[in-house]
Amino acid sequence: EALRDNLPAEIAARLYPFRCDVSCEEDILKAFAFVEDKFGGVDVLINNAGTYKCVDLLAEDNSDVLRESLAVNVLAAAFCSREAVKSMKRRSVAGHIILINSIEGHKVPVYPGANLYPAGKHAITAITETMRNELRTAGTKIKVTSVSPGLVKTEMIDVCGTIAYGGEDITSLPMLQPDDIADGILYVLGTPPHVQVHELTIKPVGEPV
């Protein structure tokens, strides 16, 4: 709601805040039910929710962190995509599923505290291809795209502190801005119906990884 207060009136009127803990399947189902009731269905889904906590994979007492990582970074994307595709199929809409991946979904960088984050992003890479094949087999025109950014200046970077990433202090490295990723998503959504951008990698110039 605070975000809506800072938007131009014509845009704010189209923003509907809705609380949804994506680690909870029940919350996801409620969110999609709200969209169905308010707008009739889903045409575009952007799976952007993610979490990261700097804890080693083999650290003691890390079970909750690992479970949360899988629930938010993997299962939530699968559940949301399932519900969106169901809505698109019901209405015969050639919609678009976008999964915000990472370069860590294609290569595992060396840095402390990565735990299941790279594994989760590799899962997103596999989910994207699995989904593409299922949609193709079903004869739909629904598109699916993985967007894999490099370092982006978000709250997740603040969690990292001053860890060494690619052998350098992460806070000193070139980074993308969230708007850069939004521009890439708009490009993908603007492609003709016969064009599917399956994978889009966006890196800042000079990134070492």
Which CATH number covers residue 65? 3.40.50.720
Give catalytic residues, as residue numbers: 117
Does residue 10 belong to any structural domain of this protein?
A: no
Are 163 and 209 a contacting pair, CB within 8 Å? no
Arithmetic mean of pLDDT, 164-183? 85
- C-alpha 199/C-alpha 192 separation (Å) is 16
Tokens of 140: 């739909």
More confident residue, 53 or 125: 125
Residue 18 lies in a domain: no
**pLDDT confidence bin for 167, thresholds 50/70/90:** low
Residue 33: inside a domain: no
- Side-chain-side CA neighbours of 159 within 13 Å: the count stands at 13
Asked, for residue 23, whether it belongs to a domain, the answer is: no
The answer to whether the beta carbons of residues 45 and 34 sit under 8 Å apart is no
**3-class SS at 165?**
strand
pLDDT in tens, 24-80: 999 999 999 999 999 999 999 999 999 999 899 999 999 999 999 999 999 999 999
* 13 domain residue, yes or no: no
Distance CA 46, CA 81 (A): 9
Per the structure, how many domains does the chain have? 1
Q: Phi then psi for 8, rounded to 5 degrees?
A: -55, 150
Decide if pLDDT at 135 tops 70: yes
What gap in Å lies between CA 172 and CA 52, rounded to an integer? 20
Q: Provide the domain limits for residue 118.
A: 43-202
Question: Do the strands 96-100 and 44-47 form a parallel or antiparallel pair, or are they unpaired?
Answer: parallel
pLDDT for the residue numbered 112: 83
| Residue 31 placed within a domain | no
Give the pTM: 0.92
Q: What is the pLDDT of residue 79?
A: 99
Question: Is residue 162 in some structural domain?
Answer: yes
**Residue 8: inside a domain:** no
